Structure 1
Amino acid sequence: MNMSNLELDAEALYRALAAQVKTALAGTERLALVGIYSGGAWLAERLAAELQLDGRLGFIDVSFYRDDYAEKGLPAAVKPTQIAFDVDGATILLVDDVLYTGRTTRAAINELFDYGRPARVMLAALVDRGERELPIAADFVAATVALDAGESLLLQRADDGSFTLSIKHA
């Protein structure tokens, strides 16, 4: 489905994703969420609050772990990775806003393993836009969309915490 002229309701997508996660992971031992900056971090914060995961929330910036670092360069604002819980033996739900090539997810997993060896790593993404370059799939996804060349999705968070999703044209 081409999304160029379609309104994307980020709040409805978030609710759908949260419902999937809550149902599938209810009662999971040693569950922790790790959000990928920045959109995934926002989603993970909100999910962790709804799941009441006090102290079991972390954040990852994959800038230095990407295999295309030399090509892309350093982003304007690198945020520190924050993982203050024991990763060893935990079930980690990695959260990102948009799953595309799989390179960000691969980089996040590589960085996560620098903190320990989780029992399991799962992936939740608000939107999967396909066109994978690596064999990575989300365990939980709210929507799958196709975009035209030169288009990308941008998740934004308002001051009240609500999300909007828009299509950016290159």
Structure 2
Amino acid sequence: MMDNKAIYPQCDRLLDQLSKFDSEMLDLGSNINDDSIRLFEKGIGFNLPLDFKYILTLHNGISLMGTEVYGLDDELKESSLNKIYHFEHFGAGNPMPAHFLPFSPDGTGKYYCLDLSKITNGLCPVVFWEHSVTYLSLSNVEVCNNSFIDWVQQVMIDWTLADYNYDGSEK
């Protein structure tokens, strides 16, 4: 269990590690200076976990070598959290449960999602939603990581570093 006060320094360390990647590999969105996160939370009826909210406030969208974390902005059009959330809950043939927030696509219509129903001490698990699967129980949805910051470390940073150096050269 992580103390809420420890979440922000861990996020900062993660962002420092991300910033080591060459600018040709990494795109960090600008910060959010308005109340769009609060309005988004109100619109979906769930609070966001502290780690996700903190990083989203500092970087409205992140992309590292094709692995993307959606931002929250109408200018992002169909790649914004609000548009993706709305489509996956109200427009998809196999809609997600309301408490799943899709934040990163895998490129085949599947999503890494925050399970907003399970926020504990400011963090929630990341699940992998497969749109082509009819889940008999939500307990069958794969839990990938214990938190968003764990997901960023594993999926964005560690998996990228398995194949590339920080400067973009292949290993």
TM-score normalised over the length of structure 2 = 0.31
The structure, 1 or 2, with the larger RCO (C-alpha pairs under 8 Å, 6+ apart) is 1
Higher normalized strand content (fraction of residues): 1
Higher normalized helix content (fraction of residues): 2
TM-score normalised over the length of structure 1 = 0.31
